[in-house]
Every structure is written in structure tokens, then in C-alpha cells.
Amino acid sequence: MGFVIAVDGPAASGKGTIAVKLGQLYGLPVLDSGLLYRAVGVKVLAEGGDLADAAAATAAARSLESAELESPTVRTRGAGEAASRVAVHTPVREALRDYQRAFAAQEPGAVIDGRDIGTVIAPDAPAKLYITATPQARADRRWKQLIGQGEAVSFEEILADIRTRDARDEARADSPMVAAPDAVLLDTTEMTIDAAFDAARRIVEAARSRWETAKG
Ligand code: DC
């Protein structure tokens, strides 16, 4: 395995931005695994299906094409909720697993952000981060972002979204959102994105030194 950096954590923790910046720093390809689940949710809804219907969601996951990840719809608030709902179905997770594992297997490595990267997709990743922040801090970031995009939504609605999504992602039986035992926790509540990236970079640098020593 190359130098794989697993970046897990809840919605709006800063993990996506940190993953992209780590990719730039180390010259590694970056996969936002949440986009896969978002695209599945969006597809089920576009086809008039029910997010609770495992068979419909699995068919959507199996027929997913890369162009579907590029659609601006996958970045909306509704897509995040739909993603979390299709993500509870084991056959959906299985349908997306090989793609993510192949991404992780690239040389010289990869950065992947998600919920189960350090636990299920790449349990042997040499560097694992678990990025958190309080629900209030995350809701505030997400709210400002959505307001900036012109979505009319209140802070309370976003906070409720985040709490519902955390609870569902933590409680699901298959690959729940949880820090891997060997992940380094980074709480970004009081940090600017620059400070959070700096802290992440230091954690990854330490992991990289250990990985290089172990490789010999
Ligand atoms: O990271 P995100 O907010 O775009 O993820 C959207 C949803 O997708 C998240 O609430 C749960 C699901 N997801 C998952 O189950 N496993 C992943 N590795 C990534 C996302």
C-alpha cells in the first residue's frame, strides 16, 4: 500500500477541506467518498424511488457513473440527508466498496475522506485522522456556506439536520461513523481552517516519518 491518508469525521467538521489540502501537499489524488453516497441518494430521488428501499438504492449504486458525481445537485443540503439514508443499506455500501478500495490502492497513495475509511475501506492506512467539532460549530459553518450559496435556511434547521445525520451515521449497523482505534482525533471547534490544516499536516507528517521508517 502507498501512503494512504484516511480522513474521517462528521458533516461539516472541515474534513473535506483538510483532505483536499493534504492531497495538494503530498501530490496525492483525493476522493470525497461522501459524494458517492450523495450521488446514489440523488439518483434514487430523481427516479422517484424511496430512500428506504434497499433494492432501489443498490441498483442506483451499481449503475453509478462518474459524471453523476459532478452534478451540482449532489452538493445540496437534501443530497446530504439522502446520502445518509441510503448509506444504511449494506448492499449499497458493498457496491461502493471496491471502487473506494481500488482508489486507495493507487501508487503512490491517496487521500480519502468519509466516515468509515480508517475502519473499513483502508484499515491499514498509514495515516488516519478523525476530524470533529461541536454540532454548533459545524452547523454555523454549514449555515454560512449555504447562505452564501443563496439557500434560504435558518441556523436551527441546519443544527437539526446535523444532529439527525450524526445520530443516523453513528447508529447504523454496517460501518458506522466511528474513529478507528489508531486514528488521531482533531477537534477543530476553536480553529480557523488554516489552523486546522496546520494541525492535520503535523499529524500526517509524524505518520509519514513512521511509515517511511517501517518501509526501510
Ligand atoms: O461527507 P458527506 O457529508 O458528504 O456524507 C454524506 C453522507 O454519506 C453521510 O451523512 C453518511 C454517508 N457516508 C457514509 O456512510 N460513508 C462514507 N464513507 C461517506 C459518507
What CATH code is carried by the domain that includes residue 148? 3.40.50.300
CA distance 39 to 36: 5
**Residue 133 confidence (pLDDT):** 98
**Residue 10 confidence (pLDDT):** 98
Contacts made by residues 54-59, CB under 8 angstroms, sequence distance 24+:
54/89, 54/90, 54/91, 54/92, 57/86, 57/89, 57/92, 58/89, 58/91, 58/92, 58/95
Instruction: Please say whether the beta carbons of 80 and 157 come within 8 A.
Output: no
Q: Which atom of ligand 1 is nearest to the CA of 168?
A: 10
Q: Which atom of ligand 1 is nearest to the CA of 165?
A: 10
pLDDT band at 39 (very low <50, low <70, confident <90, very high): very high
**Residue 188 confidence (pLDDT):** 97
Query: In the chain, what percentage of residues exceed pLDDT 90?
Result: 94
Task: Name the residue range of residue 20's domain.
Answer: 3-215
Residue 11 Cβ contacting ligand 1 at under 6 Å: yes
Number of domains in the chain: 1
| Residue nearest to ligand 1 atom 5, measured at CA | 34
Q: In what helix (H) or strand (E) does residue 190 lie, and over which residues does it extend?
A: none
Helix (H, G, I), strand (E, B) or coil at 185: strand
CA distance 171 to 108: 34
Stretch 30-55: mean pLDDT, rounded? Answer: 98
pLDDT digits (tens, 9 = 90+) for 87-128: 999 999 999 999 999 999 999 999 999 999 999 999 999 999
**Residue 150 confidence (pLDDT):** 87
Give, for ligand 1, the residue of 33, 88, 99 to mutate: max count of ligand atoms closer than 8 Å to Cβ. Answer: 33
Residue 83 Cβ contacting ligand 1 at under 6 Å: yes
pLDDT digits (tens, 9 = 90+) for 134-174: 999 999 999 998 899 888 899 999 999 999 999 999 999 99
Cα 35 to ligand 1 centre (Å) = 7
Q: The C-alpha cell of 169 is what?
A: 451515521
CA distance 134 to 125: 26
Give, for ligand 1, the residue of 169, 174, 178 to mutate: max count of ligand atoms closer than 8 Å to Cβ. Answer: 169
215 pLDDT above the threshold of 90: no
CA distance 114 to 100: 10
**Residue 138 confidence (pLDDT):** 97
